[in-house]
Amino acid sequence: MFGKVLGFVCGRRTIKTAKVLWQQIKHLPTMGYGTDMLKAYENFIPYAKHYAGKTFTTQIESLNCRLRHYLARLHRKTLCYSKSKTMLEVSLKLLIHKLNNP
């Protein structure tokens, strides 16, 4: 499953949001989870499988760049925006499906 998006959550970087993401991915077989240094992840990810640091997030940052490239509503300064969180999530799901299944 290397290089695939396994789950995502739209929201702020809080423990509540991290918990929702963890519920999506915890059942998947993996050797480890690469994250940034957000403390919220420590509450859910087992210590032995948690790899925190910039080294482990480069692919995620690359994906974020690709998402911003393909979805105008994710550009930092734009007139395009989503009026509802639901439509943003649907747009992301469609794009991620396309990226995961070239």
Q: Is position 54 within any domain?
A: yes
**Model's pTM, two decimal places?**
0.76
Domain that holds residue 61: 15-100
Q: Is position 1 within any domain?
A: no
Asked whether the predicted pLDDT for residue 1 surpasses 60, the reply is no
Largest Cα–Cα separation, the chain: 44
Q: Is position 8 within any domain?
A: no
At 41-95, the pLDDT tens digits run 888 899 999 988 888 888 888 888 888 888 888 877 777 777 888 988 999 999 9
Indicate the number of domains in the chain: 1
Q: Is position 10 within any domain?
A: no
Asked whether the predicted pLDDT for residue 2 surpasses 70, the reply is no
Q: 4, exposed or middle or buried, with CB in 10 Å at 0-12, 13-18, 19+?
A: exposed
